[in-house]
Structure formats: structure tokens, C-alpha cells
Structure 1
Amino acid sequence: MLAQLGAQLGGIAFLVAPVFGLIGLGYAASRGGLLREKAAEGLSEYVFGLAVPVLIFKTLAEAELPAEGQPWGYWIAYFAGAFTVFGLGMLAARKLFGRDHTEAVIQGFTSGQANTVFVGVPLILNAFGPEGAVPLFLLIAIHLPVMMVVATVLTEGAASGLSLSGLKKLGRQLAFNPILLGIYAGGIAKLLGYMPGGLLKQTLDMLAASASPCALVSLGLALHRYPIRGDLAPAALITALKLVVHPALVFALVQVLPMPKVWADVAVVFAAMPSGINAYLLAQRYRVGVTASASAVSLSTALSLFTVSVWFLILGVG
């Protein structure tokens, strides 16, 4: 029993250590002045605008889709957990910390919105391989649009009676989001039976291979730019909701809702991802909750090294 547990812990360390090691390397490189802020911005744009969309396109074009169709329990389990912690984050901001409606929405969004691209993609692909790629990228396809639309509607609705121009702007941003374009292109290629070959495949393979390491180093650089600045009580509560409550709710739901085992595991690990940088960017846009969201992003990312390891242990991964 102890030998089996030790072997599993060793396997988890093998999965987690390289991922968070690269994040730490990026943070150290930025803090030590080895890479400047221009490098951080450029690497982030490369990851988000080219490398990850190519990885998604290539993976979906080559993927084996489930013969039984979409397991709807997967979507229900994940988003039921996400919107529960979204609501709890809003409630805590209003009742415990006395924040106004807009800041409560920001804190709720930070509690429910996961870092899918910079941590989720490398970690889940490292843990589950090609078998986990389809549920991962299908969830990414609707995660950002759903969470952003809800947050924007709640915020804009309170501020200006739900601005049509604001919703149109959001629609344009989502329509031309590089990650979503990669998903659309991969899905179309799969439907048409097209798989890149020859020189094009070699080029795409090289770009896709750079996505995970560059994403992780880029996140480390970003964490140095968005440090833990204060407002620690809201940040700590947001972190607990994101790293503990959200995956616990999803874990409970996947036990009773029908879906393949790997889809259930991907849903739980996806929910266990730290708060995404989009939460900080949304806070900056509305000029409220910036300190709490920045602190929550950094704190949840640092602590997720340990909490994700625990969830891997619970799921039997490694």
C-alpha cells in the first residue's frame, strides 16, 4: 500500500514539477532582469496568438472524437461548479467585504474563471496525453465566451443598463479570439477529414511543440508583473473557492453524471486550475477590484502547485 502510494506520488511529481518549474524559471528570469517586460509581452502574444491556436488546430484535426457523441454531463458538472463559486465570490464580496456590485462581479469572475491556456493546456496534456485533448479543447471553446459574457452582462447591466455597444465589442473580441479560431479551424478540418501532411505538418508540429513551454515561461514572467499587492482577505477567499471548492463541486458531480472517466478527470483538473489573468484584465477595464484580482491570480497560481497535486492523488493520476 505504502509502495503504491509512493509510486503514485512520484508519478505526480514527475507530471507537476516540470510544469511549475518552467513557471518558476520565467518568474526568476523576469525578477533577475534576464528578460525584460517587452520580452514578456512578446512571448505572451506569441503563445496566445500563434503557438496555442496551432496546437489546438493540430490536436483537434487529428483527434479521435467519442463515438457516442457529446457527454452532456461533462458540461453540466463543470459549469454548475463554476457558476456556484462565481455566485459565492460575489456574495462574499458584498456581505463579508462590503464591496459594491461591480467589484463583487469582478471577485466572482476571478473565483470561477480558470487559467486554461497558460496552465491548463500544458498540465492537462502532460497528465492525460492525446486522450485528454478533446475534452480539454472542447471545454476551452466555450469556457471563455460563457464566463466573459456572464461577467460583462452583470457588470454592464449594473453600470449602464446593459450597453449594446459593449456587448457588440465583446462579440467582436470573441469572434476573432485566436484560441477560438484555432478551435473552429480544427473542428472544420476534422469534419472535412483534412489532416496536414508533409512540410506543413512538420512546421505545425514545431509550432505546437513550442506552445506548452513558452506558455509556462510566459506565465512566470506575467506573475512578476502582477504581484500580490494587498487586499489579502478577498484574495485568499477567492483562491480557496477556485482551488478547493470549484474542483470539489465538479468532483462530486462527475460521480453521478454520465461521462467517460478521462472526461470526468479533465473536468476536475480544469476546475482546479488557478484564477486566470483575464480576471485581472477585466478588473483593470472597470477600474475596480484590481488589487484583489491581481493578488488572487498570483496567490492561486503559487498554491496550485500543491492543490493540483492533491487532486491528481484523489483522481489516481500518476
Structure 2
Amino acid sequence: MLTQLGAIALVVAPVFGLIGLGFVASLSGHLRERAAEGLSEYVFGLAVPVLIFKTLAEARLPEEGQPWGYWIAYFTGAFIVFAIGMTVARRVFGRAHTEAVIHGFTSGQANTVFVGVPLILQAFGPEGAVPLFLLIAIHLPIMMVVATVLAEGAAAGVSLATLRRLGRMLAFNPILIGIYAGGIAKVVGYVPGGVLKQTLDMLAASAVPCALVSLGLALHRYPIRGDIGPAVVITALKLVVHPTIVYVLTRLLPMPPVWADVAVVFAAMPCGINAYLLAQRYKAGVTASASAVSLSTAASLFTVTVWFLILGVS
């Protein structure tokens, strides 16, 4: 037990240590808001897409094809907590429909880039990269489409302008471009070499530490602002209920063991900042989503450790 805890600490401590370093740097004024914005843009727009492209281009895909139980397990859990989050927002906290959608979306939307990528790669290494990036490829599009349709479709139907805006956002999303480019490279058998490989290796190596420091800077910008009750419920749904459902389903449905563990850890990630950005767009649930992002990120230091213990990560 103590040996396993020590091994898990070697995975978790550097990740959350860099997040804490970014938070303290922002809190103390050592790094200002423009640094936070610039670093976030670099991570999201260049470093992580290059890491994803490089990993997928060089990856070994499962010979037996895609394990569909993997997708079923993850998204069943995601949509169950989405529905619970909406229901609690409406019936317990008395929120309007759009704000209830934001609560549900925040409950099911994981922080995949800034926490998921560093933690899962640290825990499972290259073997966990393929299931991680394949899930990222469809996670954001599916969750964003469902949230947008629910938020706008209830009143007057989803407009053509909304669909176009959503399509542009997904088409030009740098993370998705990295995934699609890596997938194409894998299909055609292209693997970068020479100077290009060295350049991509350097960019990819910067992705994880920069992402973690960037998240720490962001947490200072999105503090716990109130609406604590909904934030606590959302945090519990995201960190406890979602991974519990996925854990049960991954033990019932067929898939490689590493894929099963990646799905559980992916589900155990804290609420993603996209939830806060969506709340700002609709001007609903902004306080609850911001508080849930910060609260779930802080709490995930402990809950992720527990899930690693359950999964036997060593």
C-alpha cells in the first residue's frame, strides 16, 4: 500500500506541483494576466496539437479495431451526470433551463488538455496515449453539440447561424486539427524524421509543463466566486459519480485493460474551462461554472489519487 502510494505520488505530485506553481506565480504578480493568456494560447494552439500529431503518427493502434465498449462506457457516464446536473439545477436550486444546461455540461465536460493529457501520459506512458487522444477527438465535439442543442433548441430550435458557428469552432479547433492530422499521417504511413522530428519533439516536450503552469495561472483568473451549493454538486458529479459509472461499465464491457483505466481516469478529470466559456456565451451559470472549475481542480488532487489506488496504478 505504502509502495503504491509512493508510486502514485511520483505521478500526481509533479502535475499538481506545476499547477500550484502557476497559481502562486499569478497570485504574487510574478506572471501577469497577459502572460497567462499568451501561455494558454501557445499550449492550446501549438504545443498540445503538435504533441497529439506526433503521438498519433508514431502510435501503434490495436489490431482488433476500435473497442466500442470504451466509447459506450465513457459517454454513458458523461450523459448520466449531464442529466443529473440539469435535474438538480432545475428541481433543487430552481434554475432556468439554460442555466441548468450549463450545470449539466459542467458536470460532464472534463478538463482534457490541461490536466487529462499530463496526468494520463504520466501514469500510463505511450500505451495510454492512443486511447487518450482518440477520446479527446470526439469528446469536445459531442459535448459541445449536445450542450448547444439543449441550450438553444428548447426555445425556438437551433438556428442555422448557430450550427455554422459551432461548425467553424470545431473545424478550426487546433486540438482537433492535431488529432485529424495525426490520424491521416498514421493512415498514409508518414512518420516525421530528421530536423522536422527534432523540432516536433522539442515542441511536444514543452506541452505538458506549459499546460500545467497555464492552468495554474487560469485558476487565479477564475476563482471560487460563490454559488457554492451548485459548485459542490457539480464537483461531486464530475469527480466521483462520473468515474464510478465508467469504472463499473469498463469492467462489464470488452476492451483492453489500459483503455479501461484511461477511460476511468479521463472521467475523473476536473471540470473543463470550456464550461465556463460556454456559460459566459449564454450569460447563465457563470458563477457556478467558475467555482466548479476551481473547486474540482483543487479537489481532484485527492480524488485522482484515490482512483489511481483503485486502478492499481504503480
TM-score of the pair, normalised by structure 2:
1.00
Match runs of 1:1-318 below 5 Å: 5-318=1-314
CA distance in 1, matches of 2:249, 2:154: 32
Moved more, 137-146 or 160-169: 160-169
CA distance in 1, matches of 2:285, 2:156: 19
User: What is the CA distance between 1:163 and its match in structure 2?
Assistant: 1.4
User: What is the CA distance between 1:155 and its match in structure 2?
Assistant: 0.5
The number of equivalent residue pairs is: 314
CA distance in 2, matches of 1:234, 1:150: 21
User: What is the CA distance between 1:168 and its match in structure 2?
Assistant: 1.0
CA distance in 1, matches of 2:85, 2:229: 12
CA distance in 1, matches of 2:305, 2:155: 40
Moved more, 162-171 or 224-233: 162-171
Per-residue CA distance 1:25-82 (angstroms, 9 max, x = gap): 0000000000000000000000000000000000000000000000000000000000
CA distance in 1, matches of 2:292, 2:187: 40
CA distance in 2, matches of 1:119, 1:292: 20
Per-residue CA distance 1:123-146 (angstroms, 9 max, x = gap): 000000000000000000000000
User: What is the CA distance between 1:218 and its match in structure 2?
Assistant: 0.2
Q: Which amino acid aligns with 2:295?
A: L
Q: Which amino acid aligns with 2:253?
A: L
Q: Which amino acid aligns with 1:260?
A: P
5+ residue gaps, structure 2, are none
CA distance in 1, matches of 2:157, 2:137: 28
CA distance in 1, matches of 2:95, 2:26: 33
Per-residue CA distance 1:155-191 (angstroms, 9 max, x = gap): 0112432111111110111011000000000000001
Instruction: Report the identity percentage.
Output: 82
Q: CA RMSD in A?
A: 0.5
Q: Which amino acid aligns with 2:10?
A: F
CA distance in 1, matches of 2:223, 2:277: 14
CA distance in 2, matches of 1:179, 1:161: 29
CA distance in 1, matches of 2:280, 2:181: 31
User: What is the CA distance between 1:215 and its match in structure 2?
Assistant: 0.2
TM-score of the pair, normalised by structure 1:
0.98
CA distance in 1, matches of 2:184, 2:107: 33
CA distance in 2, matches of 1:273, 1:160: 34
User: Which portions of structure 1, spanning 4 or more consecutive aligned residues, are displaced by more than 3 angstroms?
Assistant: none
Alignment partner of 1:229: what SS? coil
Q: Which amino acid aligns with 1:202?
A: Q
5+ residue gaps, structure 1, are none
CA distance in 2, matches of 1:82, 1:23: 25
CA distance in 2, matches of 1:213, 1:156: 37
Q: Which amino acid aligns with 2:107?
A: S
